Copies of this chain bind each other. A is one copy, B any other.
Amino acid sequence: MATRTAAQRREEARFAYDAFLRECPTNQLLGRLGDKWISLIVSALRDGPMRYSDLGRRIAGVSQKMLTQSLRSLERDGLVTRTVTPSVPVRVDYELTELGHSLSDLLFAVKTWAETHFDQVHEARERYDEEAAA
């Protein structure tokens, strides 16, 4: 007699599979990189360091929460450095690392694609929606 039923074995397999997926490194990282704010921040930092508040102003529509959170994750992943100048008031600069720069070219390209091809996408959408209505 087996120590585990078929159902149990299936459960275990499913659990291991799920765990793999959750850990699956590249997919997770890919999700991060695709993040709207991440792309915009990295693109903004392409031509030099920026202060926290400058980033907030440059990237229209970002909340402090998202800005801080995104910057933290970028720092953690070694894509940007955070430099605090203990003046009064405090000054914090963010700058792309070399690793960050290698990625920024790619994300910037995607951002540029979105801007230059938006017309075509928009037309495609109208055509699609029109057919759906008919």
Contact = CB atoms under 8 A, between A and B. Distances in A.
Contacts of A129: 76
Contacts of A106: 106, 109-110, 113
A7 interface: no
Q: Describe A's contact surface by its main secondary structure.
A: helix
A102 interface: yes
Total copies of the chain: 2
Contacts of A120: 78, 99
Contact of A30 (B24, B25, B36, B128): B36
Indicate the size class of the contact surface on chain A.
35 or more
B40 A30 contact: yes
A21 interface: yes
Interface of A: 21, 24-27, 29-31, 33-36, 38-40, 60-61, 75-79, 99, 102-103, 106-107, 109-111, 113-115, 117-118, 120-125, 127-129
A115 B28 CA distance: 11
B78 A33 contact: no
